[in-house]
Amino acid sequence: MPYVSVGKENSKDVEIYYKDWGKGQPIVFSHGWPLSADAFEDQMFYLASRGYRCIAHDRRGHGRSSQPWNGNDMDTYADDLAKLVEALDLKDSIHVGHSTGGGEVARYIGRHGTKRVAKAVLIGAVPPLMLKTPANPAGAPMEAFDQIRAGVVVDRSQFWKDLSLPFYGYNRPGAKISEGVRESFWLQGMMAGFPASYFCIKAFSETDLTEDLKKFDVPTLVLHGDDDQIVPIADSALLSSKIIKNATLKVYKGAPHGMCTTLKDQVNEELLAFFKG
């Protein structure tokens, strides 16, 4: 299995797993919490079949990557991504980030610039800031994230099962529920180590990415569902699309957080059109 070493902890290599499909211009996918590269397989297969090289990694602590105690923060996630990009010598890359992965892409550009980046896509992404602060009064209160932490500590297996319902909008009237999708979400969640499952909550909720978004100088597409129950659109895409220079905002009516799965055909076509445009 392909891995890139990104550092050491307790004298052992911290290794990042990645999948690498197809040939052509590279598209690099950054997944959400608590998932893995598998969350983007619908997009990867579609785009690799249409002349792109699709690369997706498991963030540290998630999926098949190492599960270190340290480094479950946005700076380290971004630096891990940079090391992967450099190890594979990727150039003219398109970076696609969903949810926490959107924060990872933003911090990657903020810390490492766009010399290797051609375009960016943020899908249901957490930027600019999820937490309610004096400067961000519309954000969610700390108590909301404390409840998520408590759910992970008490019984994270059941927590992932429960979270899959609002994640995919399966708790809405008339929703067509796929138990297979819910089981895949649970399986990916259970592959994440306990430290990453817990510490990543602080990373995605408390990291202010406003200044990172101001450094975007490549064409950027912002996709978000207006029924996203995990990352509400008013506090994320509607703000980030104004901060990023010349960003294109596409709002999917009634779409949930997990729209890369529930609306994969629509999302795939949207991505392909943006990449070709």
Catalytic center residues: 99, 228, 257
Q: Which of 58, 66, 7 is nearest to 36 (CA)?
A: 58
Helix (H, G, I), strand (E, B) or coil at 252: strand
d(CA 235, CA 123): 14
Contact 22, 53 (CB under 8 A): yes
Contacts of 276 (CB under 8 A, 6+ apart): none
Q: Count CB atoms within 10 A of the CB of residue 265.
A: 9
Sign of CA pseudo-dihedral 81, 84, 86, 91: negative
Q: In Å, how far are 42, 100, 102, 170 from 78, measured between CA atoms?
A: 24, 11, 11, 31
Q: In Å, how far are 185, 190, 222, 274 from 159, measured between CA atoms?
A: 11, 10, 29, 36
d(CA 121, CA 60): 21
Look-up of token digits 């430290």: 195
The backbone torsions φ and ψ at residue 270, rounded to the nearest 5 degrees and listed phi first, read -60, -45
Q: Count CB atoms within 10 A of the CB of residue 83.
A: 17
